[in-house]
Amino acid sequence: MGDFFELQTITKTFGSYKAVNHSTITIKKGEVFSLLGPSGCGKTTLLRIAAGFEQPDEGRVILDGKDITALPPNDREINTVFQNYALFPHMTVWDNIAFGLKIAGRSRSYIKSEVERMLDMIDLEEHAYKKPAMISGGQKQRVAIARALVNKPQVLLLDEPLGALDLKLRQRMLLELDRIHDEVGISFLYVTHDQGEAMSLSDRIAVMNRGHIEQIGTPVEIYEAPKSSFVAAFIGDTNFLESGKVVKQFADGYCNLKLDGFPDVICYNDNNHAVGEPVVISVRPEKLRVSFDEPPDHQYHNKVRGKVEDIIYFGSETKYFVRVQDYRLSVFQQNIHFLLEERQIKWNDEVWISWHGNDSYMLQRYTPEDEHLLAVPDPQAK
Amino acid sequence: MKRSSAPAWTTVLVIVFFYIPTLTLIIQSFNSAKYGGGWQGFTLDWYRKLMHEREVWRAVQNSLWIAAYSTLGATTLGTLGAWMLNRYKSKLQSAHYTLMYAPLMVPEILMGISLLMFFVNLGIPLGLPTIILAHITFCVSYVCFTVMGRLQDFDDSLIHAAQDLGAQWPTIIWKILLPLLGPGILAGALLAFTLSIDDFVITFFTSGPGSTTLPVYIYSAIKKGSLATINALSVLMMLVTFTIVLVSNHFINHKKT
């Protein structure tokens, strides 16, 4: 399936503030596409441009081959689920869902059958004649989704739809959203700052930062192969080894790196950084192995000595903070045989940390503007 | 909870200073003594006499017409003003806000005199139209702030949601704005009506021959000395005003719960 809904080279400024800068996303038919980023990154502005509430300064909005940039929201085959639901408080659930169909001038019998179909889908038949104030947050959310979907839009826009719900309900609504998407099969453009929501729901994700798109990819690509240090830090947890310098490049793609305040490491050079170029290395905590015994030598394996400074036990896994020269590495270890282990790792133990050279990533150093977004809390700093 | 005699004292004081004079007025309207004073027996004569006084009913008619027109004008302008003040944000808005607020603070007598000068200088003959204009002028602010209270609770994303679902502005106004803001607008209108029908000072300055309103009539009647019918009239007026205030309060509080 080809590109269906496109936001092409969108730029939008408010006064002197550039909310969105030259950003392009293309969404396939039936795809769940997420815009993910910290608050103020421009994701909501992009959504409002897609809905027609804002006009871009530059760029075009294309739906199914037609340029709809100039169309007002009421003429677009796009519907929105708003962050705070925006249900009409003076109308019943039934009338809220029927609103769009009534405006479209559909026949009474069509409206009745469609609204009932929607009520069945969101499983709220018995609340059809209640006002929004009488139903719970999760139910309101489902009404908002039904109210948008009943118009059979080509694209459904969702603006932080689960933001107002508590954690348990959020997880249930995520499954519900997934089910609804399977049922209607249209494209979803989902805006969120929550990486968990984006990762679990999306076919593809665009990670946004300060008005531009850092990376577009599947959840796996975004997590396993971040294109920038911002993406690496924003999605999940990671260890950054800064001030690296490529010293030797091998023919098989691996290279040796020299670091300040850390032993030399070997890393797969995905982005073909040249010898002498300064880079940052990102290693996810779960890719690191911690052990008492020295791991066997291997061509592409890194192993370093460190001292355990902190241990946080989560039940299913344990997080170790290990001091290696100037760095404090965080290491996630699944507690597969925690109780059976002959010798448990304790504070101040000397341990080995090891990882495969292909499990770390070499990235360009992030800019100072991003640094505060990425700050990893260091308990030692206090 | 701490027990305090303050609420009890407040009640007593309110009764003494507000309700006892009113009560006296009500009682006196049923007193057969011609100039008030001691109780000389129950009578409905004053009410009966009132029914036959042609001038009173002319004044009532004037008052009602003035109230109706000025309510219509003030409600329209006040609602639009509230909408504009609430919807658009600019540096000028705080100036607009102050301009809207000022009439609530200006002493009525100042407003009356300035309106009189204004009309006289422009050569507009004093009469019902000038009274209506004057009433609209001071009622607009009240309506504006009543409606604005409603608007502040209004969620703008509802308008976006309606647009998103295909609604054009006329539909949005008819199906979303009026149902949700209606009670606020109605409360403002009732407030304007009560203020207009009660007003004496500003009306006194801006009225001309043949445009005597009820409060102005009462004032002149007292000067002439026919106190007893005035008592009866005041009671009737109070009844009407009271009802309107109760109804408007009902609408103001209704949707807040």
What domains can be seen in chain B, in order of their start residue? 49-254 (1.10.3720.10)
Pick from B167, B171, B180: CB nearest A90: B180
In A, minimum Cα distance to B166 occurs at: A74
Q: Tens of pLDDT along A260-298?
A: 889 989 998 888 888 888 888 899 999 999 988 888 888
Per-residue pLDDT tens listing for chain A (382 residues): 567 999 999 999 998 888 999 999 999 999 999 999 988 889 999 999 999 999 999 999 999 999 999 999 999 999 999 988 999 999 999 999 999 999 999 999 999 999 999 999 888 999 999 999 999 988 999 999 999 999 999 999 999 988 878 888 888 888 888 999 998 889 999 999 988 899 999 999 999 998 889 999 999 999 988 888 888 888 888 898 887 888 888 888 899 889 888 998 999 888 888 888 888 889 999 999 998 888 888 888 999 999 999 999 888 889 999 999 889 999 998 887 656 666 788 889 999 999 998 898 888 776 666 665 554 444 443 3
Domain ranges of chain A: 3-224, 229-381
In A, minimum Cα distance to B159 occurs at: A86
> What is the SS3 assignment for A266?
strand
Say whether residue A104 is in contact with chain B using an 8 A CB cutoff.
yes
Instruction: Enumerate the β-bridge partners of residue A78.
Output: A155
pLDDT band at residue B257 under the 50/70/90 scheme: very low
Q: Tens of pLDDT along A317-374?
A: 899 999 998 899 999 988 876 566 667 888 899 999 999 988 988 887 766 666 655 5
What single DSSP character describes residue B175? I
Residue B161: pLDDT above 90? yes
pLDDT at position A381 is 37
Longest dimension (CA), chain A: 76
Stronger pLDDT, A206 or B39, i.e. the higher one: A206
Rounded distance, CA B146 to CA B152, Å? Answer: 10
Residues in A touching B177 (Cβ below 8 Å): none
- Would you say the C-alpha torsion A189, A74, A132, A97 has a positive or negative sign? negative
- Give Cβ neighbours of residue B8 (< 8 Å, ≥ 6 apart): none
Share of chain B above pLDDT 70, in %: 95
**Helices B128-152 and B92-105, interaxial angle, to 10°?**
120
Does the beta-carbon distance from B166 to A51 stay under 8 Å?
no
Residue B231: pLDDT above 90? no
pLDDT at position A298 is 84
In A, minimum Cα distance to B153 occurs at: A89
Burial (CB count <10 Å: 0-12, 13-18, 19+), residue A347 = exposed
Residue B201: pLDDT above 50? yes
Fold assignment, A3-224: Rossmann fold (3.40.50)
- Give Cβ neighbours of residue A299 (< 8 Å, ≥ 6 apart): none
Pick from B160, B171, B179: CB nearest A103: B171
Does the pTM surpass 0.95? The reply is: no
Rounded distance, CA B241 to CA B225, Å? Answer: 25
A72: its two tokens: 């007002």
Neighbours of A148 (CB within 10 A): 23
pLDDT at position A274 is 85
Interface test with A, best of B91, B155, B164 (most A CBs within 10 A): B164
**Helix %, strand %, coil % for chain A, to 5?**
30, 35, 35
Rounded distance, CA B57 to CA B51, Å? Answer: 8
Q: Tens of pLDDT along B60-89?
A: 888 999 999 999 999 999 999 999 988 887
- Residue whose C-alpha is closest to residue A205's, from A173, A234, A171: A234
Which element (helix H / strand E) includes A60?
Answer: strand A58-63
In A, minimum Cα distance to B179 occurs at: A90
Given a contact cutoff of 8 angstroms between Cβ atoms, the answer to whether A154 and A186 are in contact is yes
Given a contact cutoff of 8 angstroms between Cβ atoms, the answer to whether A196 and A237 are in contact is no
DSSP-assigned letters across all residues of A194-263:
-HHHHHHH-SEEEEEETTEEEEEE-HHHHHHS-SSHHHHHHSS--EEEEEEEEEEE-TTSEEEEEETTEE
- ipTM strictly over 0.90? no
- Could you give the residue ranges of the DSSP H alpha helices within chain A? 43-51, 93-103, 108-121, 137-149, 167-184, 195-201, 219-224, 229-234, 368-374
Q: Which amino acid does the sequence have at A9?
A: T
- Residue whose C-alpha is closest to residue A148's, from A202, A83, A100: A100
Rounded distance, CA A174 to CA A11, Å? Answer: 31
Given a contact cutoff of 8 angstroms between Cβ atoms, the answer to whether B143 and B74 are in contact is yes
Neighbours of B238 (CB within 10 A): 14
Rounded distance, CA A217 to CA A202, Å? Answer: 10
Chain B contacts to A (CB-CB under 8 A): 155, 157-158, 160-168, 171, 175-176, 179-180
**Strands A204-209 vs A32-36: parallel, antiparallel or unpaired:** parallel
- Residue whose C-alpha is closest to residue B71's, from B173, B242, B186: B186
Tell me which CATH code domain A229-381 carries. Answer: 2.40.50.100
Rounded distance, CA A8 to CA A56, Å? Answer: 10
Q: Which amino acid does the sequence have at B106?
A: V
Neighbours of A144 (CB within 10 A): 26
